[in-house]
Amino acid sequence: MPNAASLLLVLAAVFAGAVVPFQAGANAMLGRLIGHPLWATVVSLSISLALIVPLMIALRVPMPTPAETLKGPWWIWIGGAAGVIYITAALLLAPKLGAASFIVAVIAGQMAVSIVIDHYGLMGFPEKPVSVARLIGVGLIAGGMVITQLASAMPALASQAR
């Protein structure tokens, strides 16, 4: 049974996940309004930077030295690229798929890769071997994705049949 502290962490993660559909919707509308999804990606990431820098200044977060930033493994730099991929994909795909279909597909992809990362302890995560229970959980998420996609396609198929 999880303790109160771990439950709080899970609730914080649920809250963080709850804002993602708003990000996808806002960025998609931004892309339509300013004319191109890549410009919307630039604006979105610029707003992120404009918000985090003053917070870091207010919290007096020390600036890392160049030596500190260069001593990590090569893959520490892919987070920014992953952000660009996600934001651009959200801009392009969420309006076509709908919020629920897009987000459930994102979650299915995240879970499929996360279980591999956990199993092998990649990227500094502790090893958490794949178990039948965890595979069932990922399978349920994948099944939920399929059901959500099919349910989204049903109204379109019904209108085409008329």
Domain with 110, as residue range(s), is: 4-161
CA angle, 152 as apex, 148 and 158 as ends, to 5°?
135
Instruction: Decide: 34 and 43 in contact? Cβ < 8 Å.
Output: yes
| For residue 160, pLDDT beyond 80 | no
What is the predicted pLDDT for the residue at 156?
65
Query: Per the structure, how many domains does the chain have?
Result: 1
pLDDT in tens, 17-72: 888 888 888 988 999 999 988 899 999 999 999 999 999 999 999 999 988 888 88
CB neighbourhood size of 67 (10 A): 7
pLDDT digits (tens, 9 = 90+) for 76-116: 889 989 989 999 999 899 988 988 899 999 999 999 999 99
